[in-house]
Structure 1
Amino acid sequence: MTNEPQIQKEPQIPTNLRLLLIVEEIAKAGSPLKPMQLAEVLGLPKPTVHRLLQTAESEGFLQRDLDGRSYGPGPRLRQLAVRTMSSEHLRTGRLAILKGVAEDIGETCNLATPDREGMTYLDRVETHWPLRIQLPIGTNVPFYCTASGKMYLSTLRDSTLEAVLKSRPLEALTDNTLIDPDALRRELAETRARGYSQDNEEFMMGMTALAVPVKDNAGRLLATLSVHAPDQRHSVEDLVDFLPRLQTAAQKLSELHNS
């Protein structure tokens, strides 16, 4: 009787987990993935991956990237992420941090997350001043002319940024809006180098803003923390003085969401 070596088979992924694991891989990657990449990582047959991606796309959980071949988060998955971040436990801690920043600075503070078409305000704590800028929770603002949006754009890889900039003309919302793509690219490069972004009356006349990133465990942008104020009270240069306070709060928010 011979003792033949036993061949151990790779564990099979249960059918009801396959789509969840595909969604998880796309979320972990932080950028759109092709079916072949997913098949290699998960060890699933390519036809199976294609079928699951088509199902997720038809239901709105995933959507094709601008290249037509890769897949990224769809509207339902993005809404799921926002609702998860808005759970009672997280929101209570988050609002406590925002309230502390707003009281220290004396101006409105916002937490915004990137969506397909712009940044969406997830939470905010208002200033006590009678003169304030009204941008309620759920407001969606453009990427290219807001502090939170430019912070997000500065984190994109070059090919994705180019696709975003070419997707539609840049509209001048004020006299200060950067509508020249080259000027905006330079602004984003500066934003990337210094670690914060600013809005000098580019989205709305009379409003200035400053934003810093809130990062996940992999160092990727999860959300943005920003402060905005009427220019009668603070210029952009004034807001830069509050940068250390914003960065400390952003680190606390990162720890809260990554714990």
Structure 2
Amino acid sequence: MPDASMSDKAIPTNLRLLLLLEELARVGEPTTPTAANEALGLPKPTIHRLFHTLEQEGFLQRDIDGRSYAPGQRLRKLSVNVLSSARVRMVRLTVLNALAKEIGETCNIAMPERHAMIYLDRVETKWPLRIQLPIGTEVPFHCTASGKMYLSTLAPRLFSKYLNLATLEAHSAKSLTDPDALKEQIEIVRSAGYSTDNEEFMDGMVAVAVPILDDNKRLMATLSVHAPTQRVSLETLTGHIPRLQAAALELAELVLS
């Protein structure tokens, strides 16, 4: 990482955009040009020009405050494509296959998008009775195990903003649609280190999820298992949390190695 005292000329022109994106990824939340430049030390016109270029090309987008920037659609798609590269995905599916075989139920990896969790990978159970949620499916934050796991990692001010602005739609009779009830549930998730879905997204389906963390201990994806209640109880799935956590560590090491 360049020192803040470096001059404009110290950073090659063809590296500036990459180093800026690296800094935005390191911070992990909407960032202003001034804050990002504390690590890069570029002249003010240069840093603003870089932000403008990335925004124009869809790699960044302005946050709700109008001053800070967050990853845009092209950057989010880029990150998913990197994680889905053939060799990485092959080994990742090996980990998922071993986990699904041991637990006997469908296992998933999901990543947070701006408005939902999106399934990146999955390995189906061998049972004929299964719940179909294919790769690319988007599911809500507030009523899924993976989504609640993600919400639990948000900074308090960002989670409060989410509670104030989000529409907590009922997907089943057990969906949490009251902001105070969801807040209480997320506090439990933060304390426990894993999350559950007790038929909140879909009648007759239960699920548990654990985080896959980056080298800064931030959530980059979730690992979850779901099953029909005709075959498995939520209590039974919760008993698999240690195995899920071990697999999540394997998956994190795969991405970061």
Shorter-chain TM-score: which interval? over 0.9
Query: Once the 2 structures are TM-superposed, how far is the Cα of residue 41 of structure 1 from its aligned partner?
Result: 1.4
Task: Specify the alignment match of 2:201 in structure 1.
Answer: 203
> Using the alignment, how far apart are the partners of 1:139 and 1:67 within structure 2?
30
> Using the alignment, how far apart are the partners of 2:44 and 2:180 within structure 1?
40
Q: 1:17 aligns with which of 7, 15, 18?
A: 15
When normalised by structure 1's length, the TM-score is 0.94
Alignment of 1:98-137 (within 5 A): 98-137=96-135
> Using the alignment, how far apart are the partners of 1:34 and 1:253 within structure 2?
32
Report the RMSD for the aligned CA atoms in angstroms.
Answer: 1.4
Whether the 8 Å contact between 2:6 and 2:41 is mirrored in structure 1 is no
Query: Once the 2 structures are TM-superposed, how far is the Cα of residue 9 of structure 1 from its aligned partner?
Result: 7.7
Q: 2:163 aligns with which of 159, 162, 165?
A: 165
When normalised by structure 2's length, the TM-score is 0.95
Query: Once the 2 structures are TM-superposed, how far is the Cα of residue 64 of structure 1 from its aligned partner?
Result: 1.6
Query: Once the 2 structures are TM-superposed, how far is the Cα of residue 47 of structure 1 from its aligned partner?
Result: 2.1
Query: Once the 2 structures are TM-superposed, how far is the Cα of residue 165 of structure 1 from its aligned partner?
Result: 2.1
Describe the superposition over 1:49-86 as per-residue Cα deviations: whole angstroms up to 9, x where unpaired. Answer: 12211211121101122222111211111110000001
Classify the secondary structure of the residue corresponding to 2:10: coil
Please, which moves more after superposition, 19-28 or 94-103? 19-28
Query: Once the 2 structures are TM-superposed, how far is the Cα of residue 212 of structure 1 from its aligned partner?
Result: 0.3
Please, which moves more after superposition, 206-215 or 235-244? 235-244
Classify the secondary structure of the residue corresponding to 1:52: helix
Whether the 8 Å contact between 1:66 and 1:163 is mirrored in structure 2 is no
Task: Specify the alignment match of 1:83 in structure 2.
Answer: 81
Q: 1:182 aligns with which of 180, 183, 187?
A: 180
Whether the 8 Å contact between 1:225 and 1:246 is mirrored in structure 2 is yes
Query: Once the 2 structures are TM-superposed, how far is the Cα of residue 46 of structure 1 from its aligned partner?
Result: 1.8
The count of aligned residue pairs is 252
Classify the secondary structure of the residue corresponding to 1:208: strand
> Using the alignment, how far apart are the partners of 1:160 and 1:9 within structure 2?
33
| Structure 1 segments (4+ residues) deviating >3 Å | 8-11
Query: Once the 2 structures are TM-superposed, how far is the Cα of residue 130 of structure 1 from its aligned partner?
Result: 0.7
Bigger Rg, which one: 1
